[in-house]
Structure 1
Amino acid sequence: MAKEFNVPPVIFPSGGNPSTSAGPHQRRLPTAPFQPPRPAVNPTLPFMSFDVGSAPPSTSFSAPVFGGSIGGSSGSLGFDEEPPLLEELGINTRQIWRKTVSILNPFRVNPNLHEDADLSGPFIFLMAFGLFQLLAHKLHFGIILGWVTVAALFLYVVFNMLAGRNGNLDLYRCFSLVGYCMLPMVIFSAVSLFVPEQGVVIFGLGAFFVLWSTRVCTRLLVELASCGDEHRGLIAYACWLIYMLFSLLVIF
């Protein structure tokens, strides 16, 4: 015989639907997959209202400024006022051109133009010298760079030994002067392409350009460095040895 159980009737509050009625067991709405849960609103945080209609409408459009600094300072430069890229890299093309023109006249060399030493012009001359040698079927780029380094060190040591403690020739300026005075050797390397090899003409041209480079380098060293006028002959002999080696590189 089955036993009967008395089940009390279910009464919903206010006659509402249990799925929508508020209570401790409120039903949660389904959310989309892989969607983070929404943060709960903190009732303690103040709510700030903004009145859009109270702001005055803007009638002008201001374009963004890209040349300004991060801090927004009024003294920042724009694209039109910025210096060229070569000057930012320390390459002054006007200064290189003026130094080149001054060396082209061995009797009127302006030592004041070589007060500011640089290696941009010498590097251009050395690459041009190696390029003309390459046109003569001679690959001498490594030899040229190595000889210039040894020549600058040799001239630096000789000059400071002659000048003693009063000598103020630094190695950087010595590299710059030796490199700029390579311009006659570059011209000789270009002219040698049109001259027969192992002839009297090429030896005569080599002697002329060696004397040209020696005179220019000696005068610049004497004028720019102190205590060089007393030993002008020895300095000229050291310069002559340096550029004689480069002329032999062109001839042979």
Structure 2
Amino acid sequence: MAEDRLDTGLLTGITVGFYFQTLTVLNPFHTPEVAALQDTDLAGPLVFCLAFGGFLLLSGKVHFSYIYGIGVLGCLSMWALLSLMSAQGVTIGTVVTVLGYCLLPMVGLSGVNVILSLQGYVGIVLTSVAILWCSLSASKLFVTALAMDHQQPLVLYPCALLYGVFALITIF
């Protein structure tokens, strides 16, 4: 009986964390709470990576290994960069969680790519908006979680480079 309550509580905690992190990414101009950002949830980023790869597969591109390879390299690079920039330490779990959840607009872009081609003016605009949205959300979360006041543009640039690579995978 106690195990059933524990499983339900764990599931509810994961669902609430997934919901909170997703809403935080969808509204990059809202300042999130610092305590909630320290929660490392790796299920959400895995779901978003699988959805990203699934949409790319529906558009005729098999890039699962590229997604995971670039994702791991990007997470390790961002972890090293943020460890050097912040006064307090950052865990690799926090970096993976933030970068994975902020992949959500790129998942939407790959979903649009199933319906229409992104190799025109509309594609350039949609891709630019998705890269800006992803990188703005990620940099806002990192700056808030690590108390890095007035350093958002410094964190925004490498995030934009990382999500730009994911956008190139989506377009081509």
- TM-score of the two chains, using structure 1 as the length reference: 0.63
CA drift of 1:219 comes to 0.6
Are the counterparts in 2 of residues 197 and 251 from structure 1 also a CA contact under 8 Å? Answer: yes
Q: How does 1:24-173 map to 2 (within 5 A)?
A: 77=2, 82-84=5-7, 87=10, 92-112=14-34, 113-163=36-86, 166-173=87-94
Task: Please tell me whether Structure 1 or Structure 2 has the larger radius of gyration of its CA atoms.
Answer: 1
Are the counterparts in 2 of residues 106 and 212 from structure 1 also a CA contact under 8 Å? Answer: yes
Structure 1 residues 162 and 110, CA gap change in structure 2 (3 angstroms):
closer
Matched position secondary structure for 1:83: helix
What is residue 246 of structure 1 aligned with on the other side? 166
Unaligned runs of 5+ in 1: 1-66, 68-76
What is residue 190 of structure 1 aligned with on the other side? 111
Structure 1 residues 213 and 230, CA gap change in structure 2 (3 angstroms):
same
Are the counterparts in 1 of residues 138 and 159 from structure 2 also a CA contact under 8 Å? Answer: yes
Tell me, in whole angstroms, the C-alpha distance in 2 between the residues paired with 1:198 and 1:93: 36
Identity of aligned residues (%): 30
Tell me, in whole angstroms, the C-alpha distance in 2 between the residues paired with 1:209 and 1:147: 18
Tell me, in whole angstroms, the C-alpha distance in 1 between the residues paired with 2:107 and 2:31: 18
Deviations 1:139-190 (A, max 9, x none): 1111111111111111111122223xx2321111111111010011111110
CA drift of 1:230 comes to 4.3
Tell me, in whole angstroms, the C-alpha distance in 2 between the residues paired with 1:144 and 1:86: 32
CA drift of 1:205 comes to 0.3
When you count helix as a share of all residues, which structure comes out higher? Answer: 2
Tell me, in whole angstroms, the C-alpha distance in 1 between the residues paired with 2:116 and 2:168: 15
Are the counterparts in 2 of residues 162 and 231 from structure 1 also a CA contact under 8 Å? Answer: no
Unaligned runs of 5+ in 2: none
Tell me, in whole angstroms, the C-alpha distance in 1 between the residues paired with 2:33 and 2:43: 18
Aligned residues between the structures: 171
Root mean square deviation, CA, Å: 2.1
Structure 1 residues 185 and 109, CA gap change in structure 2 (3 angstroms):
farther
Higher RCO structure (Cα 8 Å, ≥6 apart): 2
Structure 1 residues 146 and 87, CA gap change in structure 2 (3 angstroms):
same
- TM-score of the two chains, using structure 2 as the length reference: 0.90
Are the counterparts in 2 of residues 91 and 120 from structure 1 also a CA contact under 8 Å? Answer: no
